[in-house]
Amino acid sequence: MLANYLIGLREGLEAGLIVGILVAYLGKLGRRDLLGRLWVGIGIAVAVSLGVGALLTWGPYALTFQAQEVLGGALSLVAVAMVTWMIFWMGTHGAGLSKELRGQVDAAIDRSWIAIVVLGALSVGREGIETALFVWANVAGGSDPVLGTVGAVLGILTAVVISWGISRGLVRFNLSVFFTWTGLFLILVAAGVLAYGIGDLQEASVIPGWGTHAYSLTGVVPPGSWIDTVLGGIFNFTPEPTWAQVIGWLAYVIVTVALYLRLLQRRRFTSRASAVPSAPAATAPAPDPAAAPAVAGN
């Protein structure tokens, strides 16, 4: 539930910031007449996201067991790829997000009225589909479906309240720090989803090695115990993973964390460099009055 809550909170905050920037910029341009079209696009995005969530929840039941496992494994890999892209995209574009969105609004206004609807749908729809897919993959990996869904909904509702408070100037907190630490947390969550997806593909005989455990931690984490439930619900932990799951988990965490920390270091260096005042431009020295030629008197 905690993992899904943070997923809903983070994605909801991203969507809330995007909506806030779009609404504020249209107001600044004096084009509040376009807000209705923007909200139509946002409504379409929400409907599509709910539709994707419903399709993922009830669609696979008509498939055979092997087809369900292949589909579950493939969608888990897609979810990991999408959330990883989202983490790095926010890390690289977060600082210039407002400027980028304002440019998209200008371009949409110049094209046609439908472009504003499309902009609203795409800007929010990406976050909604990512949330639906990743929450589904996390729930499918072992979380209680009801608690997982409730956690995601509570996270989204919290994000709505925070976004409203930010727009009204009632809430102030460091969004950069929030996105940085939740990014690291979601990398661990995504690693668990990846391991679950690999297990599904092994069960479907797409990847060999199912049934051969790399190690067993059942003595430390008994199946069905509270710690097994907590770790399984948050990180898709399994006490008896296969070798493919262990290798996939380790490879993903090592590579992704290293790249993410490098991104943070580069961003910190860039922000420090931009904060250093530039040296004043060199100016020609003032003429020395003593060196001026004497003017001969009459």
pLDDT digits (tens, 9 = 90+) for 191-218: 988 998 999 999 988 999 998 999 999 8
10-to-87, 162, 176 alpha-carbon distances in Å: 10, 11, 12
d(CA 164, CA 142): 33
Given a cut of 70, whether residue 23 has pLDDT beyond it is: yes
- Taking the whole predicted model, whether its pTM rises above 0.75 is answered as no
- 144: confidence class by pLDDT, cuts 50, 70, 90: low
Map residue 215 onto helix, strand or coil: coil
Given a cut of 70, whether residue 140 has pLDDT beyond it is: no
Tell me the per-residue pLDDT of 228-273, one tens digit each, with 9 for 90 and over: 877 877 788 889 999 999 999 999 999 999 999 998 888 777 766 6
Given a cut of 60, whether residue 290 has pLDDT beyond it is: no
Copy the structure tokens of residue 159. Answer: 């994000």
Q: Which residue has the higher pLDDT, 246 or 141?
A: 246
Residue 278, phi then psi, degrees to nearest 5: -75, 150
Tell me the per-residue pLDDT of 151-191, one tens digit each, with 9 for 90 and over: 888 888 888 888 888 777 766 767 777 788 888 888 998 89
- For every residue of 93-150, DSSP letters joined together read HSTTHHHHHHHHHHHHHHH-HHHHHHHHHHHHHHHHHHHHHHHHHHHHTTS-HHHHHH
Residue pair 139/132 in contact (Cβ under 8 Å)? The answer is no
Residue pair 253/84 in contact (Cβ under 8 Å)? The answer is no
- 288: confidence class by pLDDT, cuts 50, 70, 90: very low
Mean of the per-residue pLDDT values for the chain? 79
Best CA proximity match to 212, nearest among 246, 236, 237: 246
d(CA 151, CA 158): 10
pLDDT of the residue at 59: 67
The residue to which tokens 């909904």 are assigned: 153
pLDDT of the residue at 91: 74
Tell me the per-residue pLDDT of 33-67, one tens digit each, with 9 for 90 and over: 888 888 899 899 889 888 887 777 776 666 777 88
Give the max Cα distance, the chain: 114
Tell me the per-residue pLDDT of 71-126, one tens digit each, with 9 for 90 and over: 888 888 988 898 898 888 877 766 666 777 788 888 887 777 688 888 888 878 87
